[in-house]
Amino acid sequence: MTKCDFCKKEITTIPFICKYCGGTFCEEHRMPEAHKCPGIHADSLISPLEPISVSPPSKVLKGSAADELSVVKRMDEEFDQHLDYVLENRLDDIVKFGRNFSAIDLAVYLVKNFGKILFFDPLLTLAQQYAIADVEIVNEAGGISGRSGFNLALFGDPGTGKTFASKDFILGDPEKGVPAHGLPGRNRYCGGMTPARFIQIGRAYEGKKFVFIVTELREWFTHSSGMVEPLKLAMEHGIITKETYREIVEPYRFTSFFSVNYNATIKSGKEYKVSMRDPNFNAVEDRMLCRLHVLTKERYEALAEAQARAWRGETKYELANEIRDHLTLVHAIETVHPKIRGMFPKKPVLLTERTIDLITATRKTILEHIGYKDTLSFSPRLEMRTLQLASALSLISYFKHEEKDVLPMDDQAVRLALRFYVEEAAIRSRESFDSAHILFDLGIYLADEDLARGIRST
């Protein structure tokens, strides 16, 4: 079995190859600073008085990946500039804001602006922004149970608000009066990008945490065959390579995440069919946190009402700046950004036995309501997505636990994540059970009046 070149322990997962020094490392020591990479610290080993030359890294970016470096540099500068602004002008205010802000407060803010039916979509896209710091989820025994980062897919009927939630709400749209809520300089919009170009430029993002926003994922499967395997590898942070008669893309590890949209046809009997022709696309879906949008009468009315409120100027994004600054600060802390190192400690999210018991109870209740079936239409990965969503929403409470070494799972964050679990299982089971009834029976149902008033029931 392969051993880590730094800690000399056996590697039980996929080994990570450092692009700077070429060494093999475990998950804990995969980043250059974690294994004191000689490739990036070579300059410090050279005396300025000695005319010694250092060979460049063996892997040199070429072609599209080299061109993309200018885009990466610009986005890094955007993030750094915003972080500088927060640290110099808003630090005390944002820390104070964070001490009184949690997942339920975010949910209340979104319900106020979008209503009780539509609020969950921007909640998911904003949760992903917190999640991409890829924070460790640790258990009470001290081991690592997973990481917070997840890929996100909003799919379903056209005109159901998918693009607004994944793009406009995150990046902002001045023409619509929508301020940006997502991370500055950490979202790579892929409008018009071909899948071949994505594979080419992905190497420029190796070792970085970005969100690739693809609002029309179907186009990637229309213009290029064989995309299932590269996407699977990308979503699993595996090694990507490509060889054609025209070019060879050298192997690299993709470490970022996806936020995608695509259409699906809703058939009778609650069955849906995605617009991708590839029969293996369900393998890609299985590696994402998915949310199906059905244009029901209730959703149509909710969309129309939200639009009318926007026309009248009643939609108020009064917390947009605070949320974005808070998100920026938490991301910088959890990714150990050089500008903030030593100011606030990086903390993992603690998975408690209570959270595991809630997920287990939810699973058992769902299976009881589904009844006997030869096969299920969802996999155990749905529970991992639930855990990741709860962890991401718990990161919002970072400043509420300044005295602790770990961030405990926020109770309301878990409730919101379990709501996703139950509703997604219901949809994939063709709504063979009432999701609201299960949530109420389990005692994790967030009533409309709770969201409206922001009651923190336990």
Summarised one tens digit per residue, pLDDT across range 335-394 is: 999 999 889 999 999 999 999 999 999 988 888 877 666 567 677 888 999 999 999 999
Contacts 24+ apart (CB under 8 A), 335-344: 335/133, 335/209, 336/33, 337/83, 339/80, 339/83, 339/84, 339/87, 340/83, 340/87
CA angle 52, 57, 58 (to 5 degrees): 120
What integer best gives the mean pLDDT of the chain? Answer: 84
CATH number given to 1-60: 4.10.1110
For the 63-453 domain, the top CATH level (class) is alpha beta
- pLDDT, tens digit (0-9, with 9 covering 90-100), for 227-269: 888 888 999 999 988 766 566 778 899 999 999 998 887 776 5
| 290: helix, strand or coil | strand
181 CB-near residues (< 8 Å, 6+ apart) = 122, 126, 129, 169, 170, 172, 317, 320, 323, 324, 327
SS3 content of the chain, % helix, strand, coil (to 5): 45, 15, 40
Among candidate residues 441, 443, 435, 394, the one with its CA nearest the CA of residue 414 = 394
Task: Give the per-residue pLDDT at 456.
Answer: 43
Question: Which pLDDT score is estimated for 42?
Answer: 43
- Please name which of 394, 349, 335, 411 lies closest in space to residue 132, comparing C-alpha atoms: 335
On the question of a common fold for 1-60 and 63-453, the answer reads: no
Instruction: Label residue 304 left, alpha or beta by phi (over 0 means left) and psi (-120 to 50 means alpha).
Output: alpha
DSSP for 157-192, written as a single string: STTSSHHIIIIIHHH-BGGGTB---S-TT-EEE-TT
Least confident of 101-105, 247-251, 298-302, 372-376: 372-376
Residue with tokens 């890929």: 151
Residue 52, pLDDT score: 37
Q: Which H or E element spans position 211?
A: strand 211-214
- As given in the structure block, the two tokens for residue 279 are 């029969």
Identify the residue with better confidence: 34 or 410.
410
Question: Is the distance from CB of 386 to CB of 421 less than 8 angstroms?
Answer: yes
- pTM (predicted TM-score): 0.82
Compare 378 and 166 and report the one with higher pLDDT.
Answer: 166
Q: How far is CA 246 from CA 64, 203, 249, 310, 436, in A?
A: 14, 18, 10, 50, 54
Q: pLDDT-based confidence at 14, cuts 50/70/90? A: low
Kind of pairing between the strands at 136-139 and 349-351: parallel
What are the CA-CA distances from residue 136 to residues 131, 147, 235, 386 (Å)?
10, 5, 17, 15
- Stretch 129-146: mean pLDDT, rounded? 95
- pLDDT-derived band at 194 (thresholds 50, 70, 90) equals confident
Copy the structure tokens of residue 231: 């996407």
Domain boundaries, the chain: 1-60, 63-453
What average pLDDT score do residues 320-337 get? 97
Residues 6+ away with beta carbon under 8 Å from 325: 82, 86, 90, 94, 97
CB 111 within 8 A of CB 452: yes
Q: What percent of the chain has pLDDT over 70?
A: 84
CA 233-236-238 angle, 5° bins: 55
Could you tell me the sign of the dihedral formed by the alpha carbons of 12, 18, 24, 28, in that order? negative
Q: What is the reported pLDDT for 412? A: 92
| pLDDT score recorded for residue 401 | 94
Contact 156, 218 (CB under 8 A): no
Under 8 Å between Cβ of 11 and 29: no
